[in-house]
Amino acid sequence: MTIDNLVVETACGPVRGTETGLPGDRVKVWKGIRYAAPPLGELRFRGPQPPQRWTEIADATGFGPVCPQPTIPNMPIDLGASQDEDCLRLNIWTSADTEPGAGKPVMVWLHGGAYLLGSSSQPLYDGRTLASSGEVIVVTVNYRLGALGFLDLSSFSTGRRRFDSNVGLRDVLAALGWIRENIEVFGGDPDTVTLFGESAGAGIVTTLLAMPAAEGLFARAIAQSSPATSVYDAGRARGVAVCMLDKLGINPADVDRLAQVPAAAILAASKEVFDEVPVRNPGTLAFVPIVDGDLLTDNPVKLAQEGRSRPVPLVIGTNKNEAALFRLMRSPLMPITPHAITSMFNQIAAEQPDLQLPTAEQIGSAYSQVGRRARPLNIATDVGFRMPSVWLAEAHSMVAPTYLYRFDYSTPLLKLVLVRAAHATELPYVWGNLGGPQDPTLKLGGAKIARAVSRRVRTRWINFARHGTPAGPDGEPDWPRYDDADRACLIVDKRDTVARNVDAHIRAAWGGQVVGFR
């Protein structure tokens, strides 16, 4: 029931939004809506609980707090809001003429940030452009990050204190449940929800595809640069937890003290662990989803290969030069030097002696056309992002329509600094927010072509959310489904083109060995 144009009665209570934009391009937006109780005190490291109902109209004109996170000097992020553990909020954009019960498709965004950084309120993810067309409703979601969301303490549970696994994933499930219950009064169709995300957000998307608890919560999925194989077992997760406790000076027998530890101390310890893990074990992250035997019974790619992923239409792909961003930022998160790549392979071989890894000759042959300096970057891109996406596309195509893409477009500035189509460079094109404060890539020109690329990408994403097929604007090539016959892949560049079996050389090198299962 709508009280007025901007006050909406949700199942938890009324919320007041605001209207913004230029005439003919106006949107309604509700920001900072609480979808779960504050995860404070005894609820820290526990799955989200329903919020208490409110009766007074809640102000939804400003973003709510975002999950506390450390500062990474080489990864400056404008979070768009203050930090606080009371962060389980979401934001909704609709066109100004959208009415309750309009039944519009819904696009729900999960931000990236290595499971440690980011927020739903980053200026880059402003939903005005996507929503102003009137074709979809856009929702962006906060979830708990780093140690607060992905530190697995479940093996330390006692009679005094229980800890839940995969808390960040449980947050996303709670948000999707809230959306299913409430989105109709904002004009959305709860049965036509497309879950989309990038990097860690895409990793959550591909993980939820393997989770029975996600059934019925979304009808379509888009995974942009998913680290789909960065899902670890309980043993590795326990090792990270022990390291965290040691840095906090807490004996495992006293783990219930964590409820009272200041958030600043947890952030400081998590930053140290986050920095140390990829140095000690190249190619791994400290805080990721885990196979807990509860929400998740096995690695998502493996489950997909067994035909056990959720049978919903999927768009999945990567950028051509993913690893170049990590080199530019001097980040240790990806193994981008020959030494780090060799170390990663040696550790995988030691941990999994039965895994038939590619030989040096096979790898050399696959990358023989790549210059010596660029070779490690290409290998890192393929191990971290491209091959997991290809493996998942191959498997998921057996249960549902699947569309594979590669984003190749880069502006003159990105070519000059030698990153080209690096990790995350597609984001302004998806959101239609080119040239904003978070996007300096048009400084050397290229705006006309970039806007045309963005228009095509947004059209395809919106059409996928509306109809389940990623059709482009009139005159653009059809994007065929991915299958074993021709392995079609949409190449997004100055023009959209369709390539057949574009990954043949790396598929031959990596074969069926899912190297990221660690």
User: Does position 371 have pLDDT exceeding 90, yes or no?
Assistant: no
The mean per-residue pLDDT over the stretch 224-247 comes to 96
DSSP 3-state of 371: coil
User: Does position 203 have pLDDT exceeding 80, yes or no?
Assistant: yes
Res 60: pLDDT: 98
The mean per-residue pLDDT over the stretch 45-69 comes to 98
The mean per-residue pLDDT over the stretch 206-233 comes to 97
Instruction: Identify the CATH homologous superfamily for domain 7-510.
Output: Alpha/Beta hydrolase fold, catalytic domain (3.40.50.1820)
**439-451: pLDDT as tens digits:** 899 999 999 999 9
Residue 120, CA atoms < 13 Å, CB-side half-sphere: 32
Q: Going by DSSP bridges, is the β-strand pair 14-16/18-20 parallel, antiparallel, or unpaired?
A: unpaired
Query: Which residue is associated with the tokens 């080209």?
Result: 420
Percentages helix, strand, coil for the chain (3-state, rounded to 5) are 35, 15, 50
Higher-scoring residue by pLDDT: 516, 294: 294
Residues belonging to the active site? 199, 322, 423
Res 3: pLDDT: 47
Res 1: pLDDT: 38
Residue 355: pLDDT band (50, 70, 90) is: low
**Residues contacting residue 377 through CB under 8 Å, at least 6 positions apart:** 321, 323, 324, 327, 336
Res 44: pLDDT: 97
- pTM for the model: 0.96
Element spanning 198, H or E: strand 188-198
Residue 456 CA to its chain's centroid (Å):
21
**Residues contacting residue 11 through CB under 8 Å, at least 6 positions apart:** 181, 182
- Distance, CA of 289 to CA of 311 (rounded, Å): 21
- Distance, CA of 345 to CA of 282 (rounded, Å): 9
Written as six digits, the tokens of 465 are: 């959310």
Beta bridge partner(s), residue 219: none
Residue 220 CA to its chain's centroid (Å):
15
Residue 518: pLDDT band (50, 70, 90) is: very low
Residue-averaged pLDDT of the chain: 93
Using an 8 Å Cβ cutoff, are 481 and 401 in contact?
yes
Res 351: pLDDT: 65
**Exposure pattern of 63-89 as b/e (b: 16+ CB <10 Å)?**
bbbbbbbbebeebebebbbeeebebbb
User: Does position 482 have pLDDT exceeding 70, yes or no?
Assistant: yes
- Distance, CA of 207 to CA of 309 (rounded, Å): 9
Res 346: pLDDT: 76
**18-41: pLDDT as tens digits:** 999 888 789 999 999 999 999 999
**64-84: pLDDT as tens digits:** 999 999 988 878 899 999 999
Residue 331's nearest CA partner among 259, 260, 279, 409 is 279
- Distance, CA of 458 to CA of 421 (rounded, Å): 17
Res 516: pLDDT: 54
Residue 2: pLDDT band (50, 70, 90) is: very low
Q: Going by DSSP bridges, is the β-strand pair 2-4/7-9 parallel, antiparallel, or unpaired?
A: antiparallel
Res 349: pLDDT: 66
- Distance, CA of 389 to CA of 403 (rounded, Å): 11
**106-137: pLDDT as tens digits:** 999 999 999 999 999 999 999 999 999 999 99
**Residues contacting residue 33 through CB under 8 Å, at least 6 positions apart:** 10, 15, 58, 60, 64, 89, 90, 91, 92
Residue 503, CA atoms < 13 Å, CB-side half-sphere: 32
DSSP string for residues in 231-267:
-B-HHHHHHHHHHHHHHHT--GGGGGGGGGS-HHHHH
- Distance, CA of 94 to CA of 6 (rounded, Å): 11
The mean per-residue pLDDT over the stretch 325-338 comes to 88
Residue 341, CA atoms < 13 Å, CB-side half-sphere: 17
**248-301: pLDDT as tens digits:** 999 999 998 998 999 999 999 999 999 999 999 998 999 999 999 999 999 999
Query: Which residue is associated with the tokens 């005094």?
Result: 160
